[in-house]
Each structure stands twice: as structure tokens, then as C-alpha cells.
Structure 1
Amino acid sequence: MPQSRTAGLLAIYPHITSRDRLLLQLLDDHHVLTTDQIHRMLFHARRTCQIRLAELAALGLLDRFRFARDGGGSQPWHWTLGHNGHRFQAAAHNRPEPTARTSRHTVQRLSANPHLTHLLTANEFFVRLTAHARHHPEARLDRWWSETLTTKQYRTITADGHGLWSVADTTVGFFLEADTGTEPLTRVVTKLDRYAQLIRRGGPRYPVLFWLGSEQREEHLHRLLRGRPGDVPAATATHHNDPVDAVWLPVGATGRVRLAALPSDHGQPVADNPNYDAGVFVL
């Protein structure tokens, strides 16, 4: 008698470690991570990371893709859930079991997504916070919400992510706007109107972090922001800086501060969404 699909998945369980389960959850939540990002978050040795990822792919838990680089060579591997990874996560969260065709199409849509670079940029921000916390016991990333979950919880805003960052006894909430230079900055500025609406409804007054690709774009954005009301706290930094450090320039300020030093008012987030989930995901 052939094994059922469930029995086939159960046979994989003895090979899945707690670190593997964390990785599966991260990919379920955030869709795609590169080899380097996974290494910095979860492994000490890069070679160990590469070997383990290949083993998980052989078990069908992960899938991967990469593209050619302009000028020769290949981009790094991009990792996502494989069919068994989708099945495992569906079972863990009481979702219907996906078919192999559904899993395959999910990977294909992700790999061809024109916003893939933007997604990886937003994920990179949180990867850097996670990697920093691994080596600094006083720091921790208490929450990493994707764009999808952030939009579900707060409804009217469309942030690229939301997090809670703690250092010792200080916790700062923030909304991330990861910029890849594809949008006019005048459109970027108008996003603050939705954050202002959230604050007026009693939601959290978290700083909006504009993470930009160049100093020139940062300077231009500040010129546009200076004429706006100060009801929404906002700060800027560029991609080549560590977001934990004193690299954030609040709008209207002259000096840069650390992420943990930004003002943060947690407000009453339940006022925006009666189904608000206060649960945190700790790495």
C-alpha cells in the first residue's frame, strides 16, 4: 500500500532541527532570503550554512533560484519554501495542504516578481538587526512583521515592515519604508499621510524609517519633508550603514542618532484594528 502524503511528510520530521523550523517560519513569513542573509542570522560558518541549505532542499523543504549577473557570473542563491516546506508550514498553522502545483507556482511567481529586489532590501534591514542581536546580548529584535502582516494589523498604512527593537530596557517601535530608487520622492512623502491618520485614530506614534540607496536621495527627501507638519516622526539613513548605529537623521534635526534613541510612542494599536495580535516573534 502506498504511503499517504501525510506519512511521507512525517518521515522527514527526524531530520528537522529547531533551527530548521525557525528558517521555515522565516521563509513562510518573509518569502525569500539569500544564502548570505540566512548565514548571518542563523549560522556561524558559511560552509555549514551552505551544506545545510542543500540538505533541506534535498528533503523538499526548501527551493532556490538565482539569476545571471550583468557582465557575467551569477547572483547569490535565493531561498524559499519548497513543496514539503509549504506542507509543513500549512500543518503548523492549520492551513489547507497545498498541492505540488500550487507550491511550484508560488516559487515561480516569487522568482518573476518585479518587486523582488525591494522585498530583499526590506528583509535585509531586519536581517542586519537580527545579526547584530546575535552578538550583543543586550539587544534583541522583538518583532519582525512583513508588509502583509503590517497591513493586516494596521489596515490603512502600507509599510514595508514593522518592528520592535530593544536595547536593555528601551524598546522602540518603527515602520520601515525601504527605498530602492524606483519611486519619485514626491510620492514617497505622501505615504506619511496614512501614518498621520493612524496616529489620529489612537494608533502607535512610531517613527517612519526611510532607508535610502544614496546620500543624494536622502538629502532630496529631507528638503521635501521639511515643509510638512511634524505630526509623524520620521528619520532617514542609507543602505550602506548599519541601521543599529547612530546613522538615523530625524526630520528637522541636525545630528544623527542610534535606532534605540528614536522617540517611540506605542499608543493604543487596538484602536485601529479590533483583531490586533500583540504576539511577538523573537529570533
Structure 2
Amino acid sequence: MSSWRKPARAAASLGEVAHQLTERDLAIVDHLSRFRLLTIVQLERVFFDSASSAYDRIKTLCEKGLLDRRRPSTHEAYRYFLGWLGLCLVHAIAVADFEHDPGIDLFGKSEKPKPGRAPTKLKARQHADTLFFSSHRSHLEGVNDFYTRLASSCRGDIEAVLRYWYVEHEAEKVSPAMGQRPDGCFDLAFAGQKREFTFEYDTGTEPLERLVRKVDWYNQEVARRQGIRSRDINEGKYSREQVLALASPRMMLIEFTKPGREANLHDRLTAAGGRDLVATTNTARSSDPLGPVWWCAGDSPAEMRCLDEVYTFRHL
């Protein structure tokens, strides 16, 4: 990709480059500290209006030492992650935040982890190795791809606002299902109306029975938190409209990489009553997660819904 951009000089320290960073640059560093690994296409979806502007700025941040990149093979896209100075910036922000508010509770203990030493260049290389040699990297990339598609759709929709995406370690704290660690949770606003979701990315590596149990456990926990026995829901004593009226639980969303596995899950849920608070899609049709790509439990395969419609249950 050709560019008029003048190559940037590598910075020797964080102080040398910190004053040159824009608000968008800081947001990119923050994203990579949380999402860990993103491609140039994914970064463009979230932060840029064109591929050329994304390439120019990300290349500059790499040259300055804030970002780094690798690719699994010469046939695949580069994956971008925090470089040494990017890790130093995240550490400096954490130190400043801790000094401003250490989060001391009533018992005199800090609720925030105290930042350790600033990262070294060796730590930065180890950080990159950990990302690329992780057996979970492809799963992480799949989750991040869904997030960036959703963020891009919201950027282009005047009604939908992506308020926040909770990455895996954050999602565990807000998920209604105790003991279950979803791949993500997110809060959306449709025309000002808040909707909350939990997200699972399914590649088919676990038995379908385990996924069915996960869905069942999730619904039991939602019911328990609302003071309803899940058995009463299954027996039809409460419609899903009534469940949603009592409180607005996080709807469980699942994106499958294998359409056949998605259909098998719905067959199992339908056989069990089909009243689960779950909607599914697959990567073959979910380029726009806001669109009519969601198959709600209990619906027919032909009745796909937009994301803002999965809280309504016309078939009950």
C-alpha cells in the first residue's frame, strides 16, 4: 500500500513520544492492552474511516515503538500488539491511577493491584511470544473479530451505541451466571434503550452436550437472580416477556464457526422446550451483527432477527 507518509523515528523513551500522541492513539493503546491482538482491518473498523489512514497511523505507531506486529505466515495478515513503549505507557497510566486512588477499602486494604516495575524490552518480547504461541490465540482472534464487526456496525448506525465491551477477565464479574466465564459481555443502547448481552464464540472444540449444559446453567442463574425457579419457566408458568419484565437480564449470544453445529444446538433446545434466553449466529452470515442474523431459541431457522429484536418473543 503506497503512502505519502514520512517514516517516523524510533523513540528511545516514553517521554520522547508521549506528547506526540493523539486521543485516538491513546485509545488504540488502551484497546490493545485489553484485547491484546488486532489486525489492521479490525483496527480500521473501530478507529478509522479508510484503510489508508489506518495503515499510515498504525505504521507510525509501530515505527515509534508503541506497537509491534507479527504474522503467523507470509500468507496471513499481520497481528498488531503492544510494543515495548506501548507496554510502558500502559504501566505509567496504571501507576498514575494507583497513586491518585489506590482503592483503599474499609479494612485498609487496596482493592487495586499495585503496579510492579516498568516493563523491559525483554518483557516486551516475552509478551509477544506468549500471544503468538498460545494455543488459544485463534479463539481470541475470533472473539476480537466479532467485537470489531459489532463496533463498526454501531459506528455506521445512528440508533445503536456500543457503550462498553467487557473482555474475558472483566466479563466474569458482570455475567449473571456464577462460575461461568463468557468470552465477553457488552452493553448496547438502541435508540437510548439499554440492552445487555453475554457472548460466546464457539469453534466446535467442546462436545455439544457441554454447550447445552452451559446454556441451561446460564438460564438457571438468570432465573435465580430474578427470584424465579427455572422449573417454573420451563413448565410455562412464566413467559419470556414476564421474565424480561421482572429484570433485563443479559441475553446470551453465541457465534458459531460451523453452521451445522448451530442447527444441532437449536434442535436440542427445541426438544427441551425452547424457552432459553439465547440467540445464535454463525460467521458465514454475521458480517453485520446488528442485522437480521440472529436465530432465537424457539424460532424457525427462517425467522432471523436483528439484534435489537432478540428481546422480543413473538412466538410465545
CA distance in 2, matches of 1:198, 1:100: 45
Q: Which residue of 2 aligns with 1:66?
A: 71
Is 1:51 equivalent to 2:97 in the alignment?
A: no
CA distance in 1, matches of 2:124, 2:271: 48
CA distance in 2, matches of 1:257, 1:231: 16
Q: Secondary structure at 1:226's aligned position in 2?
A: helix
- Per-residue CA deviations over 1:123-179 (Å, capped at 9, x if unaligned) read 111111111122222221011011111114445221110001222122221111111
Is 1:245 equivalent to 2:291 in the alignment?
A: yes
CA distance in 1, matches of 2:70, 2:272: 43
Q: Secondary structure at 1:191's aligned position in 2?
A: helix
TM-score, normalisation: structure 1: 0.83
Is 1:85 equivalent to 2:101 in the alignment?
A: no
Q: Residue 219 of structure 2 contacts residue 277 of structure 2 at CA under 8 Å; is this kept in 1?
A: no
Q: Which residue of 1 aligns with 2:190?
A: 167
Q: Secondary structure at 1:162's aligned position in 2?
A: strand
Q: Residue 153 of structure 2 contacts residue 289 of structure 2 at CA under 8 Å; is this kept in 1?
A: no
State the number of aligned residues. 254
Give the drift of 1:67: 1.4
CA distance in 2, matches of 1:63, 1:49: 15
Question: Which ranges in structure 2 are unaligned for 5 or more consecutive residues?
Answer: 1-11, 96-114, 227-246
AA aligned opposite 2:149? R
Change (3 A) 1:229 1:105: farther
Among 207, 213, 222, the residue aligned to 2:257:
213
Q: Secondary structure at 1:244's aligned position in 2?
A: coil
Give the drift of 1:201: 3.4
Q: Secondary structure at 1:89's aligned position in 2?
A: helix
Among 21, 42, 51, the residue aligned to 1:16:
21
Q: Secondary structure at 1:98's aligned position in 2?
A: coil
Identity %: 30
- Map of 1:1-283 to 2, 5 A cutoff? 8-68=13-73, 73-94=74-95, 95-96=115-116, 97-154=118-175, 156-199=179-222, 200-202=224-226, 205-228=249-272, 232-240=276-284, 241=286, 242-254=288-300, 255-263=303-311
Give the drift of 1:229: 6.1
Q: Secondary structure at 1:12's aligned position in 2?
A: helix
Q: Which residue of 2 aligns with 1:278?
A: none
Indicate the RMSD between aligned Cα atoms, in angstroms. 2.1
Give the drift of 1:232: 4.3
Question: Which ranges in structure 1 are unaligned for 5 or more consecutive residues?
Answer: 1-6, 265-283
The 4+ residue runs of structure 1 with deviation greater than 4 A are: 229-232
Q: Residue 66 of structure 2 contacts residue 82 of structure 2 at CA under 8 Å; is this kept in 1?
A: yes
Q: Residue 275 of structure 2 contacts residue 298 of structure 2 at CA under 8 Å; is this kept in 1?
A: no
CA distance in 2, matches of 1:86, 1:12: 13
CA distance in 1, matches of 2:84, 2:216: 40
Q: Secondary structure at 1:182's aligned position in 2?
A: coil
Structure number with greater Rg is 2
TM-score, normalisation: structure 2: 0.75
- Answer with 140-149 or 208-217: which moved more: 208-217
CA distance in 1, matches of 2:128, 2:248: 35
AA aligned opposite 2:202? D
Q: Secondary structure at 1:118's aligned position in 2?
A: helix
Q: Secondary structure at 1:237's aligned position in 2?
A: strand
Give the drift of 1:82: 0.8
AA aligned opposite 2:269? L
- Per-residue CA deviations over 1:206-227 (Å, capped at 9, x if unaligned) read 2111101232121111112224
Q: Which has the higher contact order (CA 8 A, sep 6+)?
A: 1
